[in-house]
Amino acid sequence: MADFCTARGLAVNKHAFGSAGRYLTVHANPRGPLPGIAFLAHMDTVHHKGKFGEPPVKTDGTFIYGPGVCDCKGGIAVALLAMQSLLEAGFDRRPLKLILTSDEEVSGRLGGQAGKDFISDQVRGFAAAINCETGMPGKLTVGRKGVSRVEVRVFGRAAHSGWGYREGASAIREAAHKVIEIEGASDGEDLTFNCGVIRGGEVVNIVPAFCTFTTDIRFIRPESLDRAMRHIERVVSTVHVAGTTAECSEISRRLPMERTAGNERLFSEIRRVGEKYGLEKIEPHFSGGGSDSAYTVLAGVPSVCSAGAIGDGSHTVRERAWLSSLPLRAKLLAATVLELPDDFSQSIPCPSP
């Protein structure tokens, strides 16, 4: 990726983040006099090598199919096309920066807090941040829920399920009580719990001594996560099956992308440009999924998300992107940057970092 960018005259910096590998920042116009524009995308994908067969990437003239073609390698292409178009048009009023992360699909867990702080630090003082995550027809995301993942571990006492049944304490049965209680606090709007992975037991004729499950928590407001954690801690400390114990730990967290006045104003500029040039009619969208845009908003920068290649089937072997959406979205972003008012982002109330 770095070689591809440098071959096209773009400056690239590499940033090591432990097991996350390297993040990249791609730069143009570093001396532009106005506050900069940041694009974001991620280089990782959820798919395992070989899952799509050979060749892994295919096209039929309308769609491109393959691992990450819309989530989010198509977004990288959109951002680079927009940057190159701006440079070829002689645009030099603002610095341009593309931030490429390598652990977005695991909520930044590998890069840790340092990786999240890196995103905020890279955009602080910029006029706008445009995240080229998977696009949707006629929509841009102006707000997103936050995501937390909590692992619950339940310990019981093993015993033969026939002659020793009464001596056992089933960790799976205790876990079942806890799953029902945890998910029962979902309100369907601000706060939801989904216990999506559960593992326990060894063989069918042994009372299980261990069970673990992972809960996905989605929330709109940061204070709602505090409420969620208190709820889980209460459930974990409550015993339903005598002889069992339990513990829990948060394994990852991504803050919500708060829907700010700055986000709304940036969205309005993009919509205006799309309509002016007949590119795309766009409506604002709020998403239940998290993204790195949370950390650009946290830095006080007007932000939108889902500005990348339009596609569907993300995280499945059906993943595809409309080929025509790559130049379409690149034109939309480049035109927006060209027409963004010089005083954009001034006097916009945004959250403090």
pLDDT tens digits for range 267-280: 999 999 999 999 99
Asked if 115 and 23 count as a contact pair (C-beta separation under 8 A), the reply is yes
pLDDT digits (tens, 9 = 90+) for 79-137: 999 999 999 999 999 999 999 999 998 888 889 899 999 999 999 999 999 999 999 99
pLDDT digits (tens, 9 = 90+) for 189-224: 899 999 999 999 999 999 999 999 999 999 999 899
Residues 6 or more apart whose Cβ sits within 8 Å of residue 96: 27, 28, 29, 32, 36, 37, 39, 83, 86, 87, 337
pLDDT of residue 346: 58
For residue 302, give Cα distances in angstroms to 16, 250, 351. Answer: 27, 29, 10
Quick check: 345 pLDDT over 90? no
Domain with CATH 3.30.70.360 in the chain: 146-254
pLDDT digits (tens, 9 = 90+) for 146-199: 999 999 999 999 999 999 999 999 999 999 999 999 999 999 889 999 999 999
- 350 vs 250: which has the higher pLDDT: 250
What does the chain come to in residues? Answer: 353
CA distance 89 to 99: 22
CATH class of segment(s) 146-254: alpha beta
2-144+256-339: CATH topology is Aminopeptidase (3.40.630)
Domain with CATH 3.40.630.10 in the chain: 2-144+256-339
**What's phi and psi for 219, nearest 5 deg?**
-150, 150
Say how far residue 74 (Cα) sits from the centre of its chain.
15
pTM of the predicted protein model = 0.89
pLDDT digits (tens, 9 = 90+) for 293-322: 999 999 999 999 999 999 999 999 999 999
pLDDT of residue 350: 47
Asked if 233 and 247 count as a contact pair (C-beta separation under 8 A), the reply is no
